[in-house]
Amino acid sequence: MSNLEPIIKLAGVTKSFGAVQVLKGIDLHVSEGEVLVVIGASGSGKSTVLRIMSGLETADSGQVWVNSVPLHDPRRAREIRGHVGMVFQQFNLFPHLTALGNVTLALLKVRKLSAEVAKKKALAVLDRVGLAEKAGNYPSQLSGGQQQRVAIARALAVEPTIMFFDEATSALDPELVGEVTSVMRSLADEGMTMVVVTHEMSFARKTADRVVFMDQGIIAEQGPPEQLFVRPQNDRTKQFLQRVLEV
């Protein structure tokens, strides 16, 4: 963890969907290079926090600064696009494009690179996730784990300052989870700032710098993984961990 100004700052963030208040005041700082893992039961608001940080949702109130962009300001929120990467539970790969096409699209249309440079760069990123030889395959011709690794490559290609992972392994068959978490771990080792919403407790334990436990729209407890997993202070944290770890 660095001592610099936090790269993500949330202060008093609330969000409602209709009558349901999913976030009831979130204060959270993430430092550059930090790997923050967010855990909690479904409906606790963890995905919503991530979607607000990535600019896909706007907070009803409070302040959200990401990479020095004020996301709470609707006139400036768009500035974050192209500077953060997001990996979705359902991959959201473009089915009509090959793995290579998925990765090059933003390089061509946003970065305005030439086709040749974009291709070279995309192949390098695909190689980083171990899929350079699948560059010509369409998503439907890849396994779930491979699709998610292409999605990671697509996000990495634009050289984001922060990577968000929204339950990136939840839709995968258990035997395919490992190939995705190992790519995520190597990213963490390289110093990428990451915010990871996950149900993979072993990933949280081994890779997180800090774990946040969310419960009913608030941050119930946070701390380094050894503290949160071994000596949880909050009763709700204890109950949650008992339920997910006893399997």
CA gap 196, 111 in Å, rounded: 26
17 counts as binding another protein under rule CB under 8 A:
no
Of the residues 1, 27, 95, 189, which one makes contact with another protein according to CB under 8 A: 95
Measured in residues, the chain has a length of 247
DSSP three-state, residue 10: strand
Q: Please state the three-class secondary structure of 80-138 as a single string.
A: HCCCEEEECCCCCCCCCCCHHHHHHHHHHHCCCCCHHHHHHHHHHHHHHCCCHHHCCCC
155 binds another protein, rule: CB under 8 A: yes
> Using the rule CB under 8 A, is 158 a contact of another protein?
yes
| Site string (49-88) toward another protein, x via CB under 8 A | -----xxx------------------------xxxxxx-x
Q: Does 97 bind another protein (CB under 8 A)?
A: yes
Choose the binding region for another protein from 20-28, 153-161, 185-193, 215-223 (rule: CB under 8 A).
153-161
Task: Say if residues 193 and 160 touch (Cβ distance below 8 Å).
Answer: no
Q: How far is the CB of 102 from another protein (least distance, A)?
A: 9
CB of 110 to another protein, least distance (A): 4
**CA pair distance 107, 87, nearest whole angstrom:** 17
**Which of helix, strand or coil describes residue 242?**
helix
Q: Is 31 in the site for another protein (CB under 8 A)?
A: no
Q: Which residues bind another protein (CB under 8 A)?
A: 54-56, 81-86, 88, 90, 92-98, 105-106, 109-110, 138, 140-141, 151, 154-155, 158
